[in-house]
Structure 1
Amino acid sequence: MEAIKLQKKYPQFSQPEVMSLVSRFKDMDIDGKGSITKQEAITALSSGHNSEGTYDSVRTTLKEVQVDSSGKIELEDYIDLIAKLRQGRNKTAGVAIGSPGKSRVVVQGSNSNIQHGILPDELSAFTTHINGVLGGDPDIGDRLPLPTETFQIFDEARDGLILCKLINDSVPDTIDERVLNKPVAKTQFKPINNFQMTENNNIVISSAKAIGCSVVNVGASDIIDGREHLILGLIWQIIRRGLLSKIDIKLHPELYRLLEDGETLEEFLRLPPDQILLRWFNYHLKAANWPRRVNNFSKDICDSENYTVLLNQLVPAQCSRAPLQQTNLEQRAEQVLQNADAIGCRKFLTSKSIVVGNPKLNLAFVANLFNTHPGLEALEESERPVIEDFDAEGEREARVFTLWLNSLNVEPGVYNLFEDLKDGTVILQAFDKVIPGCVTWRRVSKPKEGQELSRFKCVENTNYAVELGQANRMTLVGVQGADIVDGTKTLVLGLVWQLMRKSVIATLASLSKGNNREVTDSDMIRWANDRVKAASKRTTMRSFKDSTLKTGHFYLDLLDALKPGYVDYSLVYEGRNEDECTMNNKLAISIARKAGALIFVVPEDLVEVRPRLGLTFIAALMALGQ
């Protein structure tokens, strides 16, 4: 009966064909519920003797099939999908257009009038990286390796697990993986549902922001929907963060060798990691007596000459300068990559992406090369104290404030808090985000592209920022604009903290119903204690300096009060030592992110009971609880 009905609706199929398709569908519907997952449909129709098209053509055509809110594929949806595929729909899906190296795969945006381009070289490089670093993982290793030439990565990323694992690979211990929602045991595989996917992707978004990724206009639903350009952009930022995190003088004291004449260590450390990489590249070119220098990761590298010399300088026994004799640029680039392969560094780049000067892939290649073969002479004992004595004052608070400023989408992004606020433009943008309309922009001097403001103009801008702070009841006694320009750490931290606190209070006020009174520290403490007590928990907090907070028990009890059942108390330690306290606070942070809170602190901030940072954590939970 069902086959007859379907044959009438889809007359292009003969009755035997419909019967055959119904039989194929039932073979896939193992549990007999009358539906299969989208991924099962794509896999079945793009592989084996029943193939109806490529992975990407099936995937793209499936978007045209009207499935119900569950997202499951029922029998009629399955027949409709095959009918559309046999009409030749989306045959070229996933096929790149344009010249080699610059070709793009066009994907549809959220709006029918918007399209986005994806570079196949980037898709392939990032997928290959994921296959390499996550292969063998106990939770997702069986999914790998993923094809590097299709869009399957975007479907596999939907449940958040691959992205969470990638974040932990880039910045270890960012996420407590015990809180992740995972499919049921392999023997009776059952994928997680949309709600569980949302929780995992809440962790992805909040954790990505917490490690310094710029995550703008990306939400959990975008990942679940498989929005290709957004997911690929997020993957790149996570990979980039991991590669550049190792360019750190604490990990590589020999970076001290890169200081230029008259440059102080503090001045050098103000450079963002990509600029330090260029400095490192040029250091080796100079040591090789090579006349050229690189100022970017695109046009200065695309002829492969500088790469040839760099590799030869790093590992001369295995990397010759023979590529310089090759006149064909693509063949020269391939010879460079063969040299890189000889030293275990052929990663991210293809010969075409070198020639066209892809800046992302070149940056990734150079960062990986530095991490593998820095080629810098170890420091003498007499030089070491210069490094070891350096300790950035307020480093932990500065880290959190930097992440918070970047979450406001200020331009340019903040890398070094004390350096990047000097001209006043970023802090004034932050004021305007926190207190909309408070900045009269005609009073603000802005630097021309590629230029810096004069000190006089910087002081004018920062004086205006101080004036705005005072007008909005911030305590800025003795603070002048020149203090911000000079990077006086305690005063910069004080100003940014008060602005961040005002933002937190404004958020809480907007969530409270009909109460226009400003939320105080005491209000937050009272609210937290009341919620914990109402849930029949015994922990309390006296203040944000309360030393008992270090165990993480109060935070976990508060989270369980807000989201009953979220805390698995079998995972909670007594907090007898610092390691146990760290594990508890790591658990609390990941649970908060799972619930949708935006958390910038790291476990050490809570273990050390830093009052300002503890306040931001409680405030984030309070916003969640409203």
Structure 2
Amino acid sequence: MSKSVHTYSDREKSAFVNFLNSALSTDLVIKEAGYIPIDPKTDQIFTSIKDGKLLAHLCAWCAPGSIDLSKMLQPKAGKPLNPFQISENVKYVLKCMRDAGMNLTTIGASDVTEGRAYMLFGLFFQLFKKGNDRLLQEEIQRARNRMMEMGIAFDEAKMSPDRILMDFFNEGSQLMDSKKQARSVKEVADLNLIASTFASRCPGKFSTSFLQGDQASMAKKIIEVAKEIGMPDSVTAEDLVENNSQLTMMFAQQMAVHFIQVPKPSDQFLIDFMKNACPGNLKITFDNVLENDCLFELIAKNAPETITKQYVKTAPIQQKAEQLCKVIN
């Protein structure tokens, strides 16, 4: 049986290296040992991971608790590890990655120690997905903690990273009156869906004709704004236009991590006020506390002349909250 392989482009390599450099930027052990920063324009990444140490630290970052770094064999008396010891380290790291849920069925220790680029990209993207799932999971946990403190019910089925991703993009698409919807997590890697969601999150940075432009123009503007707001510089406009599924999904995950926020404690008064002010048949939950219909019902009941429904549909959450405060006060 032949192994499946993952072909890759220089842009994929650059995207992963930028992700790795960012993820381990505060890891003093790795930095002081000279493993990072890695130059994304070279093939340094394939040699840097050969001994397993960099891979082990990245695994620990992407999936906290998945690996015990103290179990890695270390050089003694100034002598470097021999090939057998290096192989044992790599085997241990790969086992920990598999145990953490990463799909590495075609990757063996020799692929890492020999720097087989065509095999390693499957491993790289598994790490990237796990790392972004971790960041989303941290947001989910903070949200869960806040909701429990507030006594607000939540649906566990809606709290998985994949469901959060889908809901995030589908909501953004709806806010821009787009009919495009993701029916599975893989479908969020779509330029039109990304464009609608980006425009809904940063309305002041996009013209009204943005979504009617050609794909090259949309992608160029998206990347331009992404850099302005501090998103990781790992994907290019060309990647989005060419619909590179791996890189487009990478960008989609980074968007979700960047934009998803957890309400501050001061938002409790908004929740309480809305529960009292909104119609009885409108269920107030964490998920819809500042969504269109809920907010519009509140304002329409208390001060219908202050705001239009179109504003509620397109304004960012912060502006909605500010307007709500004006209505309340």
Normalising by structure 2, we get a TM-score of 0.67
**How far does residue 197 in structure 1 lie from its aligned partner after superposition?**
0.7
Q: Which amino acid aligns with 1:121?
A: R
Q: Is 1:371 paired with 2:260?
A: no
Find the counterpart in structure 2 of residue 135 from structure 1: 25
Aligned-pair CA distance for 1:131 = 1.6
Show the 5 A alignment for 1:556-567. Answer: none
What amino acid maps onto 1:337 in structure 2?
A: I
Deviation at 1:128, TM superposition (A): 1.3
What's 2:44 paired with? 152
The letter of the residue matching 2:170 is N
Aligned-partner Cα distance in 2 for 1:362–1:166: 22
Q: Are 2:189 and 2:245, in contact at CA under 8 Å, matched by a contact in 1?
A: no
- Please tell me whether residue 311 in structure 1 is matched to residue 170 in structure 2: no
Distance 2:218 2:145 in 1: 31
Q: In structure 1, which of residues 277, 280, 287 is the aligned counterpart of residue 168 of structure 2?
A: 280
Per-residue CA distance 1:277-305 (angstroms, 9 max, x = gap):
12211112223444433446778765x44
Q: Is the 8 A contact 2:223 2:237 kept in 1?
A: yes
1:253 is matched with which residue? 144
Task: Give the whole-Å Cα distance in 1 for the aligned partners of 2:146 and 2:177.
Answer: 20
Answer whether contact 2:194 2:252 (CA < 8 A) is retained.
no
Change beyond 3 A, Cα 1:323–1:170: farther
Number of aligned residues:
260
Distance 1:327 1:305, change over 3 A: same
Matches within 5 A, 1:32-431: 117-135=7-25, 137-141=27-31, 142-182=34-74, 191-248=80-137, 249-253=140-144, 265-269=155-159, 273-295=161-183, 304-317=191-204, 319-321=205-207, 324=210, 327-375=213-261, 380=268
When residues 323 and 163 of structure 1 are mapped into structure 2, their CA distance, relative to the original with a 3 A threshold, is: farther
Distance in 1 (CA, whole Å) between partners of 2:180 and 2:5 is 40
Paired residues of 2:142 and 2:262 also in contact (CA < 8 A): no
Work out the CA distance in 1 between the residues paired with 2:187 and 2:143.
28
- Which blocks of at least 5 consecutive residues in structure 2 are unaligned? 148-153, 276-284, 287-329
- Looking at structure 1, the residues matched to 187 and 158 of structure 2 have their Cα atoms a distance apart, in angstroms, of 25
What is the deviation of 1:184?
A: 6.6
Contact 1:288 1:313 survives alignment (8 Å): yes
Contact 1:298 1:362 in 2 (8 A): no
Are the structure 2 counterparts of residues 280 and 219 from structure 1 closer, same or farther at C-alpha, using a change threshold of 3 Å? same
1:116 and 1:365 mapped to 2: Cα distance? 19
Q: Deviations over 1:539-581 (max 9, x none)?
A: xxxxxxxxxxxxxxxxxxxxxxxxxxxxxxxxxxxxxxxxxxx
In 2, Cα distance between the equivalents of 1:322 and 1:163? 45
CA–CA separation in structure 2 for the residues paired with 1:343 and 1:168: 28
Once the two structures are TM-superposed, the CA of residue 358 in structure 1 deviates from its matched residue by 1.8
Do the aligned partners of residues 152 and 178 (structure 1) sit closer, same or farther apart at CA in structure 2, a change above 3 Å counting? same
What do you get for the CA RMSD once the two structures are aligned? Answer: 3.4
Kindly tell me: are residues 353 and 298 of structure 1, through their superposed partners in 2, closer, same or farther at Cα, counting changes over 3 Å? Answer: farther
Structure label with greater radius of gyration? 1
Identify which of structures 1 and 2 has the higher relative contact order when contacts are C-alpha pairs closer than 8 Å and 6+ apart.
2
CA gap 1:163/1:218 in 2 versus in 1, 3 angstroms: same
Partner Cα distance (2:49, 2:28) in 1? 16
CA contact (8 A) 1:333 1:351 kept: yes
Residues 278 and 296 in structure 1, CA contact (< 8 A), matched pair in contact too: yes
- CA positional deviation for 1:208: 0.2
Instruction: Describe the shift of the 1:140–1:192 C-alpha distance in structure 2 as closer, same or farther (beyond 3 A).
Output: farther
**Cα 1:266/1:136, change in 2 over 3 Å:** closer
Give the conservation status (yes or no) of the 8 Å contact 1:299–1:357: no
CA contact under 8 A between 1:198 and 1:224: conserved in structure 2?
yes
Aligned-partner Cα distance in 2 for 1:119–1:247? 27
CA positional deviation for 1:340: 0.9
Per-residue deviation, residues 520-540 of structure 1 (Å, max 9, x unmatched): xxxxxxxxxxxxxxxxxxxxx
Residue 255 to residue 308, structure 1, CA distance change in 2 (3 Å)? farther
Question: CA, structure 1 residues 300+161, in 2 after alignment: closer, same or farther (shift >3 Å)?
Answer: closer
Amino acid paired to 1:192: L
Check the 8 A contact 2:20/2:58 in 1, yes or no: yes
Higher helix share: 2
Distance 2:122 2:172 in 1: 31
Tell whether the 8 Å contact from 2:195 to 2:211 is kept in structure 1 after alignment.
no
- Residue 236 of structure 1 aligns with an amino acid whose one-letter code is F
Q: 3-state SS of the aligned residue for 2:136?
A: coil
Q: Tell me the amino acid that sits aligned with residue 164 of structure 2.
A: I
Indicate if the aligned counterparts of 1:297 and 1:362 stay in contact, CA closer than 8 A: no
